[in-house]
Amino acid sequence: VRKHQHEEEEPGALRWKEGLQQKASEAFLRHQEAAPNLRKLVYGSVVEADDSEMEEEEELGGLFRVTRPQKSKKFQANAVDCSRFNPDTSHNWDLEEMLNSIRDCFVTGKWEDGQDAA
């Protein structure tokens, strides 16, 4: 593909057409990753952290050992036991756009046909 790009580097050439198929397949894969199979996420096999892997020991002068606890797995296992679901920080509730996204959750919003009393 790369070679192909070099050849077409002439002024005025329509370069956006290059690698359209590749771009499309990449976008498809990205989308697939963004919407994971929830069942697999919940019940899929969890990779257990290996205990031997956790200990990266170094000897200092033959007497002391430095342990560097890895933060990833063991940290989670001993995290705070709390049921709170922290909100998605990407939502900015000062924007009109966000406010509009939930308008129909309220009785004051638009009703489905057939449910509307009017």
Partner 1 sequence: MASHGLTYDGCNFFRQRLVLSTLSGKHVKIKNIRSRDDEPGLRDFEASFIRLLDKVTNGSRIEINQTGTVLFYQPGLLYGGTIEHDCNTQRSIGYYLEALLMLGPFMKTPLKATLRGVTNDPTDPTVDLLKSTALPLLKKFGIDGEGLDIKVVKRGMAPGGGGEVVFTCPVRRTLKPVQLTEPGKIKRIRGVAYSVRVSPQMGNRIVESARGILNQFIPDIYIYTDHMKGASSGKSPGFGLTLVAETLNGSFLSAEISSTPQGQGEPVLPEDLARSCAKLLLEEVYRGGCVDSSNQSLALLLMTLGQQDVSKVLLGPLSPYTIEFLRHIRDFFQIMFKIEVQKPLEDERKGGDKVLMTCVGIGYSNISKAIK
Cα–Cα distance, 73 to 54 (Å, whole number):
9
DSSP SS3 for 58? strand
Candidate residues 91, 113, 114, 116; the one interacting with partner 1 per rule CB under 8 A: 91
Q: Which of 4, 61, 106, 117 binds partner 1 (CB under 8 A)?
A: 106
Q: Are 49 and 74 in contact (CB under 8 A)?
A: yes
Nearer to partner 1, 1 or 42 (CB): 42
Q: What distance in Å separates the CA atoms of residue 106 and residue 100, rounded to the nearest whole number?
A: 11
Residue 74 in the binding site for partner 1 (CB under 8 A): yes
Contact flags string 54-73 toward partner 1, x per CB under 8 A: -------------x-x----
